Chains A and B, each alone.
Chain A
Amino acid sequence: AQSVSQHNHHVILSEAASLELGCNYSYGGTVNLFWYVQYPGQHLQLLLKYFSGDPLVKGIKGFEAEFIKSKFSFNLRKPSVQWSDTAEYFCAVTRTFTGNQFYFGTGTSLTVIP
C-alpha cells in the first residue's frame, strides 16, 4: 500500500545533540513534501516544505530537510537540539495534480532532556 513511513516513533536526545528523523514515502510521480511540528498543547505548524528546486530545504528554528528522490526520502535534521524542540514531528506528502490530500506519517515523538 502507498504510505508515508516514519521509522522513529520515539526519540530521546540530550540538549545540543544532533537530530535526524527519517521519512520515506511510496508514492510515484511528482510529490510535495512537508514536515509539520506539534508542540504540546498546540496545533500543527509548518516547519518546512519542498515543492521543487534545491533538494536541501531550510525551515524555521534551524531545521532542514533533504529530498533524495532515488530513495523516496525526506529526512529532517537539526545540528543541535534544544529543550524547546520537544514535540511531535509529522512528515507529510501530497501528490501534485491530485489535490490537497495530505498523507501523513504516524509521527515521531521527540523528547529533549536539558
Chain B
Amino acid sequence: KAGVTQTPRYLIKTRGQQVTLSCSPISGHRSVSWYQQTPGQGLQFLFEYFSETQRNKGNFPGRFSGRQFSNSRSEMNVSTLELGDSALYLCASSGTSDTFQETQYFGPGTRLLVL
C-alpha cells in the first residue's frame, strides 16, 4: 500500500500570503489529522477530519483551516501568513472505522518557510 503523501514538500511564502497544503491518506483510511512541528513547540495538533467532517480541533487561530473531500484527501489552508507559521506541517491518516483506537501513519511533511 502506498503511504501518506503530502504536496508540496517545500514551500516559501511571504508574510500576509496564504498557502494550501495537500494530503492524500493511505487507501481506505477515513481519518486525516494535521500537525505543526517546530523546534520550540514540538508536535502540535491542528485538526482532524473524519468522513469529511472536522472531528477534533487544536488550539490554533482561525487562520488555520482545513477540509476533507469525499475521497478522504485533505487540504489545509493558512491565511495571512506570519513568520511564526514557519514549520513542518505533518499529515497523518488512520482509521478504517470510527473507533478511537487507531494508529496514525504520518506523511513526510511539507516544510513551510515564511519570509
Contact = CB atoms under 8 A, between A and B. Distances in A.
Contacts, number: 64
B105 A90 contact: no
B68 interface: no
B66 interface: no
A103 B106 contact: no
Interface stretch (B10-18, B20-28, B72-80, B95-103): B95-103
A102 interface: yes
Interface stretch (A20-28, A41-49, A64-72, A74-82): A41-49
A98 B57 CA distance: 11
B107 to A, nearest CB: 6
Contact of A102 (B33, B50, B55, B107): B33
Given A44-B90, A100-B33, A100-B94, A106 B103 contact: no
Contact of B107 (A43, A49, A51, A104): A43
Interface of B: 31, 33, 35, 42-45, 48, 50, 55-56, 58, 90, 92, 94-95, 100-109
